[in-house]
């Protein structure tokens, strides 16, 4: 009896999990297929489950409507620059907070913790006014700069920097290494997994971000992928083949990063909640 | 910055002449935090304060006049604002429990010793959490089309016809909940899974020696042990839902008849469609207040846990 009960439980758990997986994955598959279909075919019932032949045409019309190559470049350039600089800044700050005792340190860290709780929406209007007065609307820096010092990333780096033994830093100082040298050639290599986790997190956040770019970008030339996609949806006649290819292109880079670095993705998320 | 780097790039110099370094260990932390702090002062602290002042002003073009509390009193008489508050809380109260319990169930299933291929399952469940909210919203917008959408097609195979997913107030909310649940369940599941892995296994061994069955163990060991993880996921999801924007913006544009207008969507429209900066700042500060209250409750809950 016990074994048959076990078998039932096993079947139960597996079918629950597999249905869950199918529901999670199916929209992706359908989106990929949709990017190769004509607008009308996407709404064909029963649905077309195999790729069609319209991929090149969809790309062509996506180039004409939103200039997909430039848009893709904008998104990639912004996300990569943002990721590199913000990861470096948060690593430096995290290092200072974790490994130095200095006047005002606790107070500053407390301010950073507080800003973790403030919804970013509250900064939108003053930031927009600021961008107008700097004449920065429709520029890369308008998208990149405001979020560069990310409290969550600083917090995460501080937690990880704590694990670096003080003795290593002390020994390097005795040997005459300067503070920057210690940071760049000893601390950074030691905390590579944390850096990867933060970098992924920052990249994903910037790549997927819609609201702030939507506010600051209004010339097609400068659109990021999410803004360009939302402009496609706003058109009077929506070409869904195009839209599906656009969403596919917005998704593929992240999927590739995720599949290559999935351990770091997950540790980045866990860094904020439970300590492993 | 530039000058500092030139000095440190010449380490040999240091070793030959034991010259005094400019960047002493005493000064170093200030240099290391400087970029973050300067950026935060300009792009976070200043806007947060400025927004507070704006919420007491009326902005016409470049002219700003102080109007006291009138933005706030106007808020309390604004039916659309009430609607957006109500919508946000309705979405929150329904979506968060559904998602959190689903995430917990999946995590428990994956954690069970019977399941093989945990990593693969975890990857698959996590996939939705990496997609852009806007991409997810667009795909679901097409899937949920009333006449030609796949979802209604599948439902019609079971005799359920023509649900107005995006055009009836009730179903529009359900659609937003559906997309949010699809996007975030795996994310929370991963957090629960890590929490489960942190529960010492001797607790379970002791319980089964005492004759407690699986269900009893779940309620007497798993749930209490996961309390901090629960609080974390619920609070994060709550704060996230308070800031909900992308999904209703794409799926329904807040419609039909404001049934899916959220606080942030209303803030966006007030600020950037009607350019009422003062009024929009007041909305933002109500959001800050609500978030602060929820964070405070969280701290209370976690604090009790330590006793």
Record: contact B138-A229, CB cut-off 8 A? yes
Report the domain count for chain B.
2
pLDDT digits (tens, 9 = 90+) for A79-122: 999 999 999 999 999 999 999 999 989 999 998 888 888 888 89
pLDDT band at B20 (very low <50, low <70, confident <90, very high): low
In the prediction, which pLDDT does B63 show? 85
In the prediction, which pLDDT does A262 show? 78
| Contact residues, chain A, for B195 at CB < 8 Å | 273-274
Do B40 and B103 lie in one domain? The reply is: no
Residue B54 within a domain? no
Over residues B100-111, mean pLDDT: 92
Do B14 and B107 lie in one domain? The reply is: no
Return the CATH architecture of domain A58-271: Orthogonal Bundle (1.10)
In the prediction, which pLDDT does A18 show? 92
For chain A, the average pLDDT equals: 89
Over residues A130-152, mean pLDDT: 94
Residue B204 within a domain? yes
Name the minimum distance, in Å, from the CA of B298 to any CA of chain A: 12
Residue B248 within a domain? yes
Over residues A222-230, mean pLDDT: 95
Do B7 and B119 lie in one domain? The reply is: no
Residue B52 within a domain? no
Q: Which domain holds residue B214?
A: 74-306
Do B174 and B295 lie in one domain? The reply is: yes
Over residues A51-69, mean pLDDT: 90
> With a CB-CB cutoff of 8 Å, which residues 209-268 of chain A face chain B?
210-211, 215, 225-226, 229-230, 233, 240, 243-244, 247, 250-251, 254-255, 258-259, 262, 265-266
> With a CB-CB cutoff of 8 Å, which residues 1-40 of chain B face chain A?
4-5, 7-8, 11, 14-15, 18, 21, 23-26, 28-33, 35-37, 39-40
| Contact residues, chain A, for B44 at CB < 8 Å | 115, 118, 123, 149
CATH of the domain at B174: 1.10.3720.10
In the prediction, which pLDDT does B19 show? 53
In the prediction, which pLDDT does B6 show? 44
The answer, for A174 touching chain B at a CB cutoff of 8 Å, is: no
In the prediction, which pLDDT does A33 show? 92
pLDDT band at A271 (very low <50, low <70, confident <90, very high): low
What are the residue ranges spanned by the domains of chain A?
A: 58-271
Do B210 and B157 lie in one domain? The reply is: yes
Do B143 and B260 lie in one domain? The reply is: yes
Do B17 and B160 lie in one domain? The reply is: no
pLDDT digits (tens, 9 = 90+) for A150-194: 998 999 899 888 888 999 999 999 988 889 999 999 999 988 888
| Contact residues, chain B, for A245 at CB < 8 Å | none
Do B107 and B19 lie in one domain? The reply is: no
pLDDT of A264 > 80? The answer is: no
Residue B110 within a domain? yes
Interface test with A, best of B36, B127, B298 (most A CBs within 10 A): B36
Interface test with B, best of A12, A92, A106, A125 (most B CBs within 10 A): A125
Residue B51 within a domain? no
The beta-carbon neighbor of A247 closest among B139, B264, B287 is B139
Nearest CA in chain B to A107: B37
Residue B266 within a domain? yes
In the prediction, which pLDDT does A2 show? 55
pLDDT digits (tens, 9 = 90+) for B120-176: 898 899 999 988 889 999 999 999 988 888 899 989 889 888 889 999 999 999 999
Do B133 and B31 lie in one domain? The reply is: no
Over residues B236-255, mean pLDDT: 88
Record: contact A273-B233, CB cut-off 8 A? yes
Do B24 and B97 lie in one domain? The reply is: no
For chain B, the average pLDDT equals: 86
| Contact residues, chain B, for A75 at CB < 8 Å | none
Do B88 and B157 lie in one domain? The reply is: yes
> With a CB-CB cutoff of 8 Å, which residues 283-302 of chain B face chain A?
284-285, 287-288, 291-292, 295
More confident residue, B56 or A259: B56
In the prediction, which pLDDT does B304 show? 58
In the prediction, which pLDDT does A70 show? 95
Record: contact A117-B135, CB cut-off 8 A? no
Share of chain A above pLDDT 90, in %: 57
Question: Rounded to the nearest 5 degrees, what angle is found at the Cα of A160, between the Cα atoms of B111 and B9?
Answer: 145
The answer, for B267 touching chain A at a CB cutoff of 8 Å, is: yes
């Amino acid at each position: 009896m016990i074994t048959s009960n076990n078998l039932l439980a096993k079947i139960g758990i597996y079918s629950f999990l597999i249905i869950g997986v199918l529901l999670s994955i199916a929209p992706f598959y359908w989106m990929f297929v949709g990017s190769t279909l004509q607008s009308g075919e996407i709404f064909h019932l029963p649905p077309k489950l195999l790729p069609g032949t319209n991929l090149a045409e969809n790309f062509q019309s996506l180039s004409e409507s939103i200039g997909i190559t430039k848009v893709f470049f904008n998104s990639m350039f912004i996300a990569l620059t943002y990721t590199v600089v913000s990861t470096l800044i948060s690593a430096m700050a995290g290092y200072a907070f974790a490994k130095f005792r200095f006047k005002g340190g606790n107070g500053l860290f407390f301010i950073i913790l507080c800003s973790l709780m403030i919804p970013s929406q509250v900064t939108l209007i003053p930031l927009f006014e600021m961008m107008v007065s700097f004449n920065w609307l429709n520029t890369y820096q308008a998208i990149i700069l405001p979020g560069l010092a990310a409290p969550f990333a600083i917090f995460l780096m501080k937690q990880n920097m704590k694990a670096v033994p003080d003795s290593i830093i002390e020994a390097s100082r005795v040997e005459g290494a300067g503070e920057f040298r210690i940071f760049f050639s000893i601390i950074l290599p030691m905390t590579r997994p944390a850096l990867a986790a933060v970098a992924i997190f920052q990249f994903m956040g910037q790549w997927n971000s819609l609201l702030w770019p939507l506010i600051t970008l209004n010339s097609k030339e400068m659109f990021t992928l999410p803004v360009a996609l939302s402009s496609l949806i706003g058109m009077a006649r929506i070409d869904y083949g195009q839209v599906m290819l656009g969403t596919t292109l917005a998704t593929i880079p992240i999927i590739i990063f995720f599949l290559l670095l999935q351990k770091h993705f997950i540790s980045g998320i866990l860094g904020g909640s439970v300590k492993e | 910055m530039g000058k500092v780097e030139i000095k440190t790039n010449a380490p040999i110099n240091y070793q030959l002449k034991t010259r005094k370094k400019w960047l002493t260990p005493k000064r170093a932390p200030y240099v290391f935090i400087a970029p973050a702090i300067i950026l935060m002062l300009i792009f976070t602290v200043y806007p947060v304060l400025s927004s507070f002042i704006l919420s007491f002003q009326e902005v016409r073009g470049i002219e700003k006049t102080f109007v006291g509390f009138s933005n706030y009193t106007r808020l309390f008489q604004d039916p659309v604002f009430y609607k957006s508050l109500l919508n946000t809380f309705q979405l929150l109260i329904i979506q968060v429990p559904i998602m959190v319990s689903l995430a917990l169930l999946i995590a428990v299933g994956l954690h069970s010793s019977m399941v093989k291929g945990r990593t693969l399952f975890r990857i698959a469940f996590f996939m939705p959490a990496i997609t852009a909210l806007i991409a997810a919203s667009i795909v679901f917008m097409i899937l949920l089309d009333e006449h030609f959408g796949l979802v209604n097609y599948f439902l019609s195979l079971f005799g359920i016809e023509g649900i107005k997913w995006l055009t009836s107030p009730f179903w529009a909310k359900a659609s937003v909940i559906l997309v949010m649940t699809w996007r975030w369940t795996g994310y929370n599941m991963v957090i629960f899974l890590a929490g489960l892995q942190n529960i010492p296994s001797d607790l379970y061994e002791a319980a089964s020696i005492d004759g407690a069955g699986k269900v009893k163990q779940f309620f007497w060991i798993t749930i209490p042990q996961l309390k901090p993880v629960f609080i974390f996921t619920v609070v994060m999801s709550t704060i996230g839902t308070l800031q909900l924007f992308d999904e209703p913006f794409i799926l329904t544009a807040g419609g039909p008849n404001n049934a899916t207008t959220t606080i942030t969507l209303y803030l966006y429209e007030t600020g950037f469609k009607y350019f009422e900066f003062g009024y929009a700042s007041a909305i933002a500060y109500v959001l800050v207040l609500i978030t602060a209250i929820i964070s405070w409750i969280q701290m209370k809950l976690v604090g009790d846990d330590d006793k």
